[in-house]
Structure 1
Amino acid sequence: MPTNLNILEEAKKFTITVASAALLAIALNFFLIPANVFASGFTGLAQIIATLIPVLSTGIGLLLLNIPVAILGWKKVGKSFTFYSFINVAATTFFLEVIPVQTISNDIILNSVFGGVIAGIGAGFVLKYGASSGGVDILALIMAKHSDRPLGVYFFMMNAVIVMASGLLFGMEKALYTLLTLYVTSRIIDAIHTRHVKLTAMIVTKKADELQKVFYERVVRGVTRIPAKGGYTKEDKEIVMIVVTRYELYQLQQIIHEVDPTAFTNIVQTTGIFGLFRKD
């Protein structure tokens, strides 16, 4: 049965997911859409579709694009991650429809930068709490499961399509401003969450068996266990080492807090891995 703490945690996660959607909608309707500058991922793709098919709004296009991806994500990525990601998409669609598109500034640089900053804040916080803004994030995770290429390759390829489309529709100058927005958004996400797609957690604990069991059940990653001894207490412990994606970091933190709140965890960047990492 869910505890009051779990209910409170889920309520906080839901609130942040919806609030981040509101920020993305504000970034689009106040800055990016009036300036004909595109956001990253499926949001940018929805803007392109809305430009080519004016009867279809950006919000509805975003929702339609994410429905098949959400079904795939539910089966192949994880139910909690996909559920909250789709909640974020649905809330973004709602806010895009109810918040009117209006021009705050005619300066395209200001629109590109402020739109990127606000969108980055929204995306960064939803990532920090174990979800995403859907679309590209889920697709990249699915593709990375069947390839040893890093997730960043897929993000680059998908966003390259957005930039090229921007150039074809509005000219190369708008494509450069779209690049500026993508850069600002990524830097803000880096500052709030993490720039590294893969991370290594080294957990010093006396409950290695329990942690390993829950990791296998809920994160589906292998672990390496290393004998250790407390420098001050001289107690026998173990270091449980596990490599995760940045999308799994929040879930990892929750598991450690539930199983062994006294564990010491060191999270370090992983610039590359060799060997099997994919989920089966």
Structure 2
Amino acid sequence: MVVMEMKKVIVVTIGAFLNAVALNYFLIPANVYSSGFSGAAQLISKIVTDYTPFTLTTGILLFLLNIPVTILGWKKVGKSFTIYSFISVVLMSLFLEVLPIQQVSKDILLNAVFGGVIAAVGVGFTLKWGASTGGMDIVAMLLSRRKDKPVGTYFFTLNSIIILSAGFLFGWEKALYTLVTLYVSTRVIDAIHTRHEKLTALIITKNSTELKKAIHAKLVRGMTTISVKGGFTNEPKEMLMIVITRYELFDLERIIKEVDPGAFTNVFQTTGIYGFFRKD
């Protein structure tokens, strides 16, 4: 357990560093904006610097923006997820302050593409290990836990505000290149982890009782049990069907490996849910 937690901290640290590199060496020098709270911090920093006599760095703003959602996450989502997410935010803010803002290339397209790829690699591996980079991920987790609302709408709204604001204030070319960054990031995250907000897992196991207890102890989810039979052996088994968010995939995978490593699991995208999603 301790080794697993140490690995998780290392992955979160690497992810935070990659995000800071993407911003300070590619996106910020090119005035191309990231997605979510990182992009919002970039945009506010640029507005404050250009239109007021004050200066607020992206790292400080990113930290400040994440404080209220971290408090909400701690109260409503779960301590483990929130702690690692906040660690990621603190480290990313620190790296943003320590690393110099330096232009690697004068080509805005190269900056948009490589900035998006590097940031997405950091985000993708952070998500894959059951943590997040804070910001909208905590908001998404909170909404999926409490109200089961389509969180994609909130991501789209925030990113639209960032793109439109960048276009009005700094030129539509910057906004269009920001779209390139968002598209590249989405594709890379999808390749590393998953961009789908909700997933359905079908778990065929001979140890359903122990597995159900372990899942219920960790995840706030209900599940359906279906009696099945092996196609070749005719051996009776049970299939557990559970719908989770992408942030819970790491925990589910770890539970299955610990309780029944021989279980057959199929995970696929869920596009819509009707009825109860969370365990009361």
Q: Shorter-chain TM-score category? A: over 0.9
| Partner in structure 2 of residue 15 of structure 1 | 10
- Whether the aligned pair in 1 keeps the contact of 2:141 and 2:247 (CA below 8 Å) is no
Shift of 1:278: 4.1
1:75-120 deviation line (CA, Å, top 9, x unaligned): 1112111111111111101111111000111111111111001111
Distance (Å, rounded) in 2 between the aligned partners of 1:268 and 1:186:
18
| Partner in structure 2 of residue 28 of structure 1 | 23
| Partner in structure 2 of residue 89 of structure 1 | 89
2:171 is the counterpart of 1:171: yes
1:40 aligns with one of 16, 35, 39: 35
| Partner in structure 2 of residue 67 of structure 1 | 67
| Partner in structure 1 of residue 247 of structure 2 | 247
Query: Number of residue pairs matched?
Result: 275
Structure 2: give runs of 5+ residues left out of the alignment: 50-54
Distance (Å, rounded) in 1 between the aligned partners of 2:169 and 2:61:
18
Compared with structure 1, are the counterparts of its residues 82 and 223 closer, same or farther at alpha carbon in structure 2 (3 Å cutoff)?
Answer: same
AA partner of residue 164 (structure 1): L
| Partner in structure 2 of residue 159 of structure 1 | 159
Shift of 1:146: 4.3
Instruction: Report the identity percentage.
Output: 60
Distance (Å, rounded) in 2 between the aligned partners of 1:123 and 1:211:
29
- Whether the aligned pair in 1 keeps the contact of 2:29 and 2:103 (CA below 8 Å) is yes
2:258 is the counterpart of 1:258: yes
Shift of 1:26: 0.5
| Partner in structure 1 of residue 126 of structure 2 | 126
Structure 1: give runs of 5+ residues left out of the alignment: 1-5
2:244 is the counterpart of 1:207: no
SS at match of 2:177: helix
Distance (Å, rounded) in 1 between the aligned partners of 2:149 and 2:184:
25
- Whether the aligned pair in 1 keeps the contact of 2:222 and 2:279 (CA below 8 Å) is no
Shift of 1:147: 3.7
2:116 is the counterpart of 1:113: no
AA partner of residue 158 (structure 1): L
Shift of 1:217: 2.0
AA partner of residue 36 (structure 1): N
Shift of 1:231: 2.8
Shift of 1:237: 1.2
| Partner in structure 1 of residue 195 of structure 2 | 195
- Whether the aligned pair in 2 keeps the contact of 1:167 and 1:173 (CA below 8 Å) is yes
| Partner in structure 1 of residue 52 of structure 2 | none
AA partner of residue 53 (structure 1): V
Compared with structure 1, are the counterparts of its residues 90 and 56 closer, same or farther at alpha carbon in structure 2 (3 Å cutoff)?
Answer: same
Deviation larger for 20-29 or 211-220: 211-220
- Whether the aligned pair in 2 keeps the contact of 1:136 and 1:158 (CA below 8 Å) is no
Distance (Å, rounded) in 2 between the aligned partners of 1:100 and 1:279:
47
Compared with structure 1, are the counterparts of its residues 279 and 134 closer, same or farther at alpha carbon in structure 2 (3 Å cutoff)?
Answer: farther
Shift of 1:169: 2.1
Shift of 1:164: 1.4
Distance (Å, rounded) in 2 between the aligned partners of 1:238 and 1:279:
20
1:129-179 deviation line (CA, Å, top 9, x unaligned): 111110011112223444443221221111111111211221111111111
1:229-274 deviation line (CA, Å, top 9, x unaligned): 2233333210011010111100100111111112111112212111
Q: Say what the alpha-carbon RMSD is for the aligned residues.
A: 1.4
Distance (Å, rounded) in 2 between the aligned partners of 1:221 and 1:145:
9
| Partner in structure 2 of residue 228 of structure 1 | 228
